[in-house]
């Protein structure tokens, strides 16, 4: 199979979809791997390293896309890339279509086959291709929150751990899943006073046992969210419904009662965000004010630490890429129910129910899509 890796063009997106070791594995299996020149530089991977692993380097993005059977990306395609879509092309990347009607329509209209990393789901409900970036975003959230709380960034001038004789920051984390639990790790390490809310009491028991009283665990409901958020210096939103829009848990009126200069970091922004006033921002302009608070809603947070993110992502995606390249996407998805759940769009139809529901579109049948293609 001819596999192509374009350079990411989203604002300050420095990740790349595969490492040289991944290229080596695919070339060793008999596939052709084309990498756009400079695609890995943001992740500290040179063209020479890709070439040494067996990749073909191509400078023209139109050629990279045009000759490919399978496109590997990190972030969802953006408008300048829509023109490369065509029937028969398979795209494997993060898509987050529930929050992106324009991209959904472009994929449907083009006849492309689009498989989303974030909706690949194991029988135990784990999301193996979302998890590594959730880990990165979770650990990064308290760090960017701490930086935003500094006075030059518009914050209250509060040092997260404080110093002897002063109070540490109150950090509230909504959601105790992969992103939330990693946010807890960093926030505790920074010396904050940490509160985590989740609707899953068993998960709260696990976190309580893990941290042995170092954090507060609270059953999540509107009353408790209101009470904890109004007392917080930093709120991390880490709530996810696989494939669907994130629920809005912190409203505008609640933000108006928060401490002046408080910071809200919305990890769920790729899925529409879990704060009512959230809208996607970029690393170039990451924050915006709401009442007296500051929102940080960068939609590609892990791109800021691209070297770590790229290697973590390839570790997770490579087995699935090898399966798709080895037997074709139809057979690979038919053989692996977890990977089959990644299929979002095929042959002009949305086949992921939460995405279809988010946009009021009819939902195609996954089994029929695989059967028709087989």
Cite the active site residues: 96, 270
Among candidates 64, 76, 68, which has minimal Cα distance to 102? 76
Among candidates 315, 256, 290, 297, which has minimal Cα distance to 25? 315
Q: Is the dihedral of CA 79, 111, 36, 338 positive or negative?
A: positive
Task: Give the bridge partners for 5, in sequence order.
Answer: 35
In sequence order, the 6+-apart residues with CB closer than 8 A to the CB of 256 are 291, 292
SS (H, E, C) 232-289: CCEEEECCCCCCCCCCCCECHHHHHCCCCCCEEEEHHHHHCCCECCCCCECCCCCEEE
Among candidates 43, 30, 37, 136, which has minimal Cα distance to 18? 43
Say how far residue 190 (Cα) sits from the centre of its chain: 24
Distance CA 361, CA 353 (A): 9
Distance CA 160, CA 147 (A): 9
Q: How far is CA 151 from CA 141, 245, 262, in A?
A: 18, 33, 11
Q: How far is CA 252 from CA 122, 281, 289, 350, in A?
A: 36, 18, 12, 33
In sequence order, the 6+-apart residues with CB closer than 8 A to the CB of 52 are 20
Is the separation of the CB atoms in 143 and 324 below 8 Å? no
Upper half-sphere CA count for residue 304 (Cβ side, 13 Å) = 17
């Amino acid at each position: 199979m001819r596999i192509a890796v374009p350079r990411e063009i989203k604002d300050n997106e420095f990740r790349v979809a595969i490492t040289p070791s991944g290229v080596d594995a695919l070339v060793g299996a008999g596939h052709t791997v084309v990498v756009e020149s400079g695609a890995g530089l943001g992740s500290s991977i040179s063209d020479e390293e890709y070439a040494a692993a067996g990749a073909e380097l191509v400078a023209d993005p139109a050629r990279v896309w045009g000759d490919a059977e399978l496109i590997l990306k990190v972030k969802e395609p953006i408008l300048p890339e829509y023109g490369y879509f065509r029937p028969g092309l398979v795209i494997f990347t993060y898509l987050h279509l529930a929050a992106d009607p324009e991209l959904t329509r472009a994929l449907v209209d083009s006849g492309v086959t689009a498989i989303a990393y974030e909706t690949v789901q194991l029988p135990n409900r784990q999301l193996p291709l979302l998890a590594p970036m959730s880990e990165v975003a979770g650990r990064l959230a308290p760090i960017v929150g701490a930086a935003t709380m500094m006075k030059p960034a518009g914050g209250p001038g509060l040092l997260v751990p404080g110093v002897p004789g002063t109070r540490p920051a109150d950090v509230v984390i909504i959601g105790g899943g992969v992103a939330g639990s990693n946010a807890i790790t960093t926030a505790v390490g920074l010396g904050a006073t940490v509160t985590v809310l989740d609707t899953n009491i068993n998960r709260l028991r696990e976190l309580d046992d893990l941290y042995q009283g170092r954090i507060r665990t609270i059953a999540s409901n509107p009353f408790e969210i209101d009470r904890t958020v109004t007392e917080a210096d930093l709120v991390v939103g880490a709530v996810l419904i696989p494939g669907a829009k994130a629920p809005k848990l912190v409203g505008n009126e609640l933000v108006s009662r928060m401490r002046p200069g408080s910071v809200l970091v919305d990890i769920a922004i790729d899925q529409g965000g879990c704060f009512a006033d959230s809208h996607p921002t970029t690393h170039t302009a990451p924050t915006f004010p709401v009442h007296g608070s500051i929102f940080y809603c960068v939609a590609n947070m892990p791109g800021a630490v691209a070297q770590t993110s790229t290697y973590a992502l390839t570790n997770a995606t490579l087995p699935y890429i090898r399966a798709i390249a080895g037997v074709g996407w139809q057979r690979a998805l038919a053989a692996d129910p977890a990977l089959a759940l990644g299929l979002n769009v095929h042959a002009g139809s949305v086949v992921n129910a939460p995405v279809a529901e988010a946009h009021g579109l009819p939902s195609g049948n996954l089994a029929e899509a695989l059967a028709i293609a087989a």
